Each structure stands twice: as C-alpha cells, then as structure tokens.
Amino acid sequence: MRISDCGFNEILNKALVTGDLSREEIVFLLSLEDEADVKRLLETADAVRQACVGDDVYIRGLIEFSNMCARNCSYCGIRADNPDVHRYRMPIDEIIETAEHVVSKGIGTIVLQSGEDPWFTADRMREIIRGIKARADCAITLSIGERTYDEYKAMKEAGADRFLLRHETAVRSLYEKLHPDCSFDERQRCLNDLKSLGYQVGAGCMVGLPWQTVEDMAEDIVFVRDLNADMVGIGPFIPHPGTPLGDHPAGTLAQTLKMVALARIATRNGLLPATTAVGSIDPFGREKALKAGANVVMPNYTPLKYRVDYEIYPDKKCINEDPEQCHGCMQARILSTGRTIGTGPGHSLKHLR
C-alpha cells in the first residue's frame, strides 16, 4: 500500500483524535519499516495513552496456581502432550495466603492464572475467590481458560472482577491451525458470555505467529476494537522446543511494539499490559511497551518452587527472581519511564462508565 507523506500525516492525526482507522490504514501502519516513521506511530500511541488513561501504570500481582492443562495449543510449553513438564497444583490455602501477601505489598489486583485444569472446578474457584476477598481488599482477575456460562456466572457471583481470555487470533483458519483441539466459535462464545456477565474482559494475541500475515494482525486490532475489550494482552510468539512450533522464528520486538501501539489507538482507554513476553525478547522490552501505549505490568508472585515449571515459552523473564526483588525492580522500571505507579484496583475505565 502506497501512501504519500500527506496521507501518513492524515492517518496519524486520525489515530490521535478518534482511532477510527480502516483495515487498510491499520495494515499500512503495521507495515511501516522506516525508523522515523515507526517512532511517530509509537509517539502517537503514547499521546493517546496520556490523554485517555494518564500516566499511572498499574501493577497486577500474578499467581500461576496450576500448570496442569487439558489442551494442546501448538505454541505452548505446558500443553498436555509435553511429557517434560513437571506438573503442579498449588493448594487452595497457599493460593489464598500468597494473594494476601501480594496485597500487603500495596498491589490492588490479583491475577489468578492456570492452564485449563478441570480439578479447579467452579466450586473450588469460588472458595479461592471468597477466601481472598475475605482477607484482602483487592480486585481479582481470572485467567483460567474456557468454561461454561454457568461456571463463569458462579465465579462472578463469588466476587471475580475481571477475566483474561486471549482471543489468540481473530482469523478462524489460523486459530484452527494453532489449536487442533479447540473451537474458534467456542472461544468467541466464552468472550461473549464473559461480557454479558459483566466481567471486565481481556482479549489479546501473539505477534509473529507462524503463517500470520500483517493483514491477520490488522484483524486482531479490529477485533479488540469491536469487542470493546477492557484489557488487551499482546506479546511476541516465542517458540518452545517442546512444541510442534519449536522450529519457527520468534516474533520481533518491532512488530510487537507496533501492535501495542495500534491496540492503544484502537481501544483508547483500555488496560494494556507491557507483557512478560516482550520483556523476555528484549531486556528493556517492557519499558519500550510502556512508551508505546501500555499502562499495566504483571510481575510474577508465584512462589519460586512452582514458578520454574510454568514455562509456556523458554527463557521466560523473571522465572528465578525472588518476588520481593521483582516488586522493587518493577517499580524502578516504571519510574524510569517517567510514569507514576497507580494505586487501588485500577478498574477498566470502560467498565466504570
């Protein structure tokens, strides 16, 4: 797609003012390669972030409480068929105690993440959610995969506030290639159910997946805009040697930052994490994402004895660091970008409307 300098200025101005870009314009921006042009795109996203959500960066406390998974996503290191994973489930009491400890550090949101582990039934999840809410003043985000409407409802009624369920890719054919045992329609059903139940809903995708085109990535941006997603997690594809996609090249930092920028432009006041994955492909990846539109970080508070076994991709950042060190490190990283640290639960501004 050829666009004149004048056209580029017009597109960036539209990105700044309304974010209402066409698919073609999104493809154009994702295809930028000239360093100065890319810089202008990232700066535009940063200006949208500043205008729509301000300077606060929210810290979410991530607890990966089970690496058991019934699924076989082609890119994931803890997929069911990987025999080399040492599997664990944290006891319910330990999950609640860990959450209480994290909240005592001043963190206002706990993110409970696991593989798709049927042992953690809706009843057990309710026990965990209620246990945390009884002992700590915080919001709870769940990231536990696909469930029925009734299960989502039960967990919402128990006090869960948000749910992260990455859409992974908005392109049906690509989704089916990557998820041999999952259904694209079922994924959409889950996202719609979560929305209808009043959760703050997080979608998201990987960048640089095998077979993924720049047009596919543009579909992801349109998808999160149409969903009016409260949160959007975007990270690079990182090949794991224990998976069918282990030989494919990783996604790049440059393309990931452009996607974060487009997600900011499209969602306006969404919550966008600077993901651990982007920090894993570049030592300053998270800081760069914060300067390209992100406003959330999710340091890992999983107890060290479990953390090493939650290896969804290799060389995952912060897998061996003590949680206390992570806390200080993350605060320093945020402050180094000239931003402030958000306090309280940091709810979605879309949801508060």
How many Cα atoms sit within 13 Å of 285 on the Cβ side? 25
Cβ–Cβ < 8 Å for 165, 187: yes
Smallest distance, Å, CB 36 to ligand SF4? 37
Please list every residue from 155 through 194 that binds ligand SF4, using CB under 6 A: none
Give the residue from 254, 229, 82 showing the smallest Cα distance to 167: 229
Smallest distance, Å, CB 73 to ligand SF4? 3
Pick the piece of the chain touching ligand SF4 (CB under 6 A) from 68-76, 118-126, 232-240, 338-346. 68-76
Q: Does 245 bind ligand SF4 (CB under 6 A)?
A: no
CB closer to ligand SF4 out of 76 and 154: 76
Q: Does 79 bind ligand SF4 (CB under 6 A)?
A: yes
Smallest distance, Å, CB 55 to ligand SF4? 33
Q: Dihedral sign, CA of 91, 94, 100, 105?
A: negative
CB closer to ligand SF4 out of 145 and 293: 145
Please list every residue from 286 through 315 that binds ligand SF4, using CB under 6 A: 312
Cβ–Cβ < 8 Å for 46, 334: no
Pick the piece of the chain touching ligand SF4 (CB under 6 A) from 4-12, 75-83, 154-162, 316-324. 75-83
Q: Does 110 bind ligand SF4 (CB under 6 A)?
A: no
CB closer to ligand SF4 out of 71 and 101: 71
Q: Does 206 bind ligand SF4 (CB under 6 A)?
A: no
CB closer to ligand SF4 out of 179 and 333: 179
Residue 58 pairs in a beta bridge with 296
User: Tokens for 179?
Assistant: 């998820």
DSSP H helices in the chain: 5-17, 23-30, 35-53, 92-104, 122-135, 149-158, 172-178, 184-196, 214-227, 253-267, 276-281, 285-290, 304-307, 323-336, 349-352
The residues near 195 (Cβ < 8 Å, ≥ 6 apart) are 201, 227
Pick the piece of the chain touching ligand SF4 (CB under 6 A) from 24-32, 69-77, 86-94, 152-160. 69-77
Give the residue from 115, 156, 128, 160 showing the smallest Cα distance to 141: 160
CB closer to ligand SF4 out of 72 and 252: 72
